[in-house]
Amino acid sequence: MKKLFFLSVILLLSTSCKAQEITQTSENKIIKNSKPKLVIGIVVDQMRYDYLIRFYNKYSKGGLKRLMNNGYNLKNTHLNYSSTKTAVGHTSIYTGTTPNNHGILANDWYDKPSKKWINCVGDERYNTIGSPSINGKKSPHRNQVTTIGDQLHIAQNMQGKVIGISLKDRGSILPAGHSANAAYWYDGDDIGNWISSSYYMKELPKWVQNFNEAKKVDEYLSKTWSTYYDISTYTESAPDLNNYEQKLKGKSTATFPYDLPKLRALNGNYNLIRETPFGNSLTVDFAIEAIKNENLGKSEFTDLLAVSFSSTDYMGHGFGVSSKEIEDAYIRLDKDLERLLLFLDTQVGKNNYTLFLTADHGATEVPKYLADRSIPARYIDKQKLRNDIKQIAKEYFGTDNLIEHISNNTIYLNKEEIKNLKLNLTSVQEIIANELINHKYIYKVVTAKTLQTTNFTTGFMNLVQNSYNQKLSGDIVFVYKPLSITNYYENQGGTTHGTGYNYNTHVPLLFYGNGITKGETFQYYPIIDIAPTISALLNIEFPNGNTGKVIEEVLE
């Protein structure tokens, strides 16, 4: 009896071990519940969460509504760090950790050892592939940890393909990771090609060359951009004619329609596509060609395609949160997503792919727009603030050389000058911080010493600490008052992002497809939970710097 009992237990355990591979259908047929053949990560640059709600009635059933209603909708997802910049967002999503670990501090930052301004993906060791420009001298080398794609490659003995696509180099390179098969981005000006770097390849694949030669971008730039629906129905936005938006060169007002053939010569020629919704359409065109020609989702191994839609960010900066242009951009993006999903259904198969959609950051409402409605908001003269900071240092320490650099709301002190003056670094940090907090536009200040010795587990300072990298960051970090941006936008119109306030951190997060359950939640989840969740779905090791957790409720 005991032997029979133990044999039964062994058989039961053996059956349980195969539970992930075998499921019983209602018709009592045994089918395989395999991993997805293709994972598609979609990042919509500068997409606030409320765009899902504000424009919901304008969306089609097959685009964002399909993902929201048939996938899993996480309604309270936030970036859990304060440096809400494009490069940081894309890196954090795919590595499952924050800048204090992955080392991408911003899009560009001050490098302490070299005392130079550096780009997040700039790398002079490599050359442009597909263009005579220098815009391909890039690589992911500044990211210090692995991505989902890297771990997928390792788990499959470097089989399967990982590809990144975005109009922006950083939106393509950083998500794809170190071991990517390819990353492609758009080279504008007078070129209008998709390009890459010699980091990945010696020459563009034939299908990319053919795509560039077809010059699909010219089709988009040969039309007039008018609203997709009658502009009178765009009641979710401010009036088209207002004082809050940047004007394209050649237009006296930032209003519809936009005669693109007429405007392109004055607005960077092929660069103009970025400032229109058609930049996203071009991205989908290119992504579809990549899926077809690279046979993504067709092998025994899982592939990963990272797609970032950048035009929403360019347009958000120029036109602002409440513009008709932004509403039209999301209506058209929804159509492009529907087109991509229908293609995936037929090319890869409805149950053969898993997709997530999120954003790298949100956006600040245009301060003028808010101030005109009695909501406290302001512009800050960045140069005057820098001068004020330098003046504090001069008054206390009698030198003009104590402040080495100021950028990304961070002060870098001159260590050689501090040594020459026989000053104490911690004391200098504290004195400047204590004075700076009295500035009328500054809301919070914290020193590097405090960030290194104090553990902020919650609140705004936790976000600041997650953005602070001991090896790479500066000596003092300061935070503007809420709803503050620099005076560049006061003079030009439009808006920006980059702080830890809710309007910059709250982003959509939708999971859909193979292995994903249907549902929604208002529970808080940080953006870094995406990577371990996808890794768990694929049954692979988490990225090596991961600090996120698996969102178990989204997985079947």
pLDDT at 14: 38
Query: Where does the pLDDT of residue 496 fall: very low under 50, low under 70, confident under 90, or very high at 90 and above?
Result: very high
* Cβ neighbours, 10 Å, residue 349: 15
Q: Are both 355 and 400 inside the same structural domain?
A: no
* CA distances from residue 168 to 6, 52, 271, 319 in whole angstroms, order as listed: 60, 23, 11, 19
Q: Which of 383, 493, 504 is nearest to 441 (CA)?
A: 383
Average pLDDT, the chain: 94
Q: Are both 351 and 406 inside the same structural domain?
A: no
Active site residue 227: no
pLDDT at 179: 98
Cβ atoms 396, 434 nearer than 8 A:
no
- 11 pLDDT above the threshold of 60: no
pLDDT at 34: 79
- In sequence order, the 6+-apart residues with CB closer than 8 A to the CB of 278 are 220, 221, 225, 311, 332
Query: Where does the pLDDT of residue 556 fall: very low under 50, low under 70, confident under 90, or very high at 90 and above?
Result: confident
Residue 495 counted as domain residue: no
CATH code at 408?
Answer: 3.30.1360.150
Q: Are both 354 and 425 inside the same structural domain?
A: no
pLDDT at 306: 99
Q: What pTM was estimated for this model as a whole?
A: 0.93
Query: Where does the pLDDT of residue 22 fall: very low under 50, low under 70, confident under 90, or very high at 90 and above?
Result: very low
Residue 19 counted as domain residue: no
Q: Are both 364 and 389 inside the same structural domain?
A: no
Residue 118 counted as domain residue: yes
DSSP letter (8 states) at residue 140 = S
| Total structural domains within the chain | 2
Question: Per the structure block, which two tokens stand in for 518?
Answer: 């249907």
pLDDT at 30: 33
What crossing angle do the helices spanning 324-344 and 278-293 adopt, rounded to 10°? 10
Q: Which of 124, 116, 91 is nearest to 106 (CA)?
A: 91
* CA distances from residue 259 to 190, 226, 254, 264, 332 in whole angstroms, order as listed: 19, 9, 12, 9, 18
Rounded Cα distance between 424 and 492, Å, is: 42
CATH code at 182?
Answer: 3.40.720.10
The 3-class SS string of 431-448 reads: HHHHHHCCCCCEEEEEEH
Q: Are both 42 and 134 inside the same structural domain?
A: yes
Query: Where does the pLDDT of residue 523 fall: very low under 50, low under 70, confident under 90, or very high at 90 and above?
Result: very high
Question: Among the three residues 452, 482, 512, which one is the final residue of a domain in this structure?
Answer: 482
pLDDT digit string, tens, across residues 443-459? 999 999 999 999 999 99
Rounded Cα distance between 484 and 379, Å, is: 6
- Widest distance between CA atoms in the chain: 91
Give per-residue burial for 53-76: e unless 16+ CB within 10 Å, then b: ebbeebbeebbbbbbbeebbbbbe
Torsion of CA 457, 458, 461, 466, to 10 degrees: 60
Rounded Cα distance between 68 and 66, Å, is: 6
Residue 9 counted as domain residue: no
Question: Per the structure block, which two tokens stand in for 25?
Answer: 């259908």
Question: How much of the chain exceeds pLDDT 90, in percent?
Answer: 93
Give the CB-side neighbour count of residue 53, counting CA atoms within 13 A. 11
Query: Where does the pLDDT of residue 24 fall: very low under 50, low under 70, confident under 90, or very high at 90 and above?
Result: very low
pLDDT at 152: 98
- 385 pLDDT above the threshold of 60: yes
pLDDT at 9: 34
Q: Which of 160, 162, 140 is nearest to 149 (CA)?
A: 162
DSSP letter (8 states) at residue 553 = G
DSSP per position, 206-266 = HHHHHHHHHTHHHHHHTSEE--SS-GGG-TTS--SS-SSSPPPTT-SSS-S-EEHHHHGGG
pLDDT at 20: 38
pLDDT at 170: 98
- 4 pLDDT above the threshold of 70: no
Q: Are both 269 and 231 inside the same structural domain?
A: yes
Q: Which residue has the tokens 């999301």?
A: 330
Q: Are both 90 and 233 inside the same structural domain?
A: yes
Torsion of CA 191, 195, 199, 204, to 10 degrees: -110
Question: Per the structure block, which two tokens stand in for 169?
Answer: 């180099």
pLDDT at 248: 98
Options 77, 84, 86, 302, the catalytic residue: 86
| Sequence-ordered alpha helix ranges (H) in 398-501 | 415-420, 425-436, 448-453, 459-467, 487-492
Rounded Cα distance between 312 and 330, Å, is: 8
Q: Are both 327 and 363 inside the same structural domain?
A: yes
pLDDT at 17: 41
Question: Among the three residues 482, 509, 524, which one is the final residue of a domain in this structure?
Answer: 482
- Would you call 296 exposed, middle or buried from its count of C-beta atoms within 10 A (0-12, 13-18, 19+)? buried
Residue 536 counted as domain residue: yes
Q: Are both 360 and 389 inside the same structural domain?
A: no
Q: Are both 399 and 358 inside the same structural domain?
A: no
Rounded Cα distance between 506 and 75, Å, is: 9
Q: Are both 340 and 390 inside the same structural domain?
A: no
pLDDT digit string, tens, across residues 330-384? 999 999 999 999 999 999 999 999 999 999 999 999 999 999 999 999 999 999 9
pLDDT digit string, tens, across residues 157-194? 999 999 999 999 999 999 999 999 999 999 999 999 99
pLDDT digit string, tens, across residues 99-154? 999 999 999 999 999 999 999 999 999 999 999 999 999 999 999 999 999 999 99
> Containing domain of residue 409, as a range?
378-482
Q: Are both 356 and 414 inside the same structural domain?
A: no
pLDDT digit string, tens, across residues 75-98? 999 999 999 999 999 999 999 999
Q: Which of 433, 460, 391, 534 is nearest to 42 (CA)?
A: 534
Residue 402 counted as domain residue: yes
Cβ atoms 109, 88 nearer than 8 A:
no
Lowest model confidence (mean pLDDT) among 3-12, 415-424, 477-486, 523-532: 3-12
Q: Which residues, listed in sequence order, are joined to residue 353 by a DSSP beta bridge?
A: 38
Rounded Cα distance between 331 and 55, Å, is: 7
- Would you call 285 exposed, middle or buried from its count of C-beta atoms within 10 A (0-12, 13-18, 19+)? buried
DSSP per position, 255-323 = -S-EEHHHHGGGTTGGGGGGGSTHHHHHHHHHHHHHHHHTTTT-SSS-EEEEEEE-HHHHHHHHH-TT-
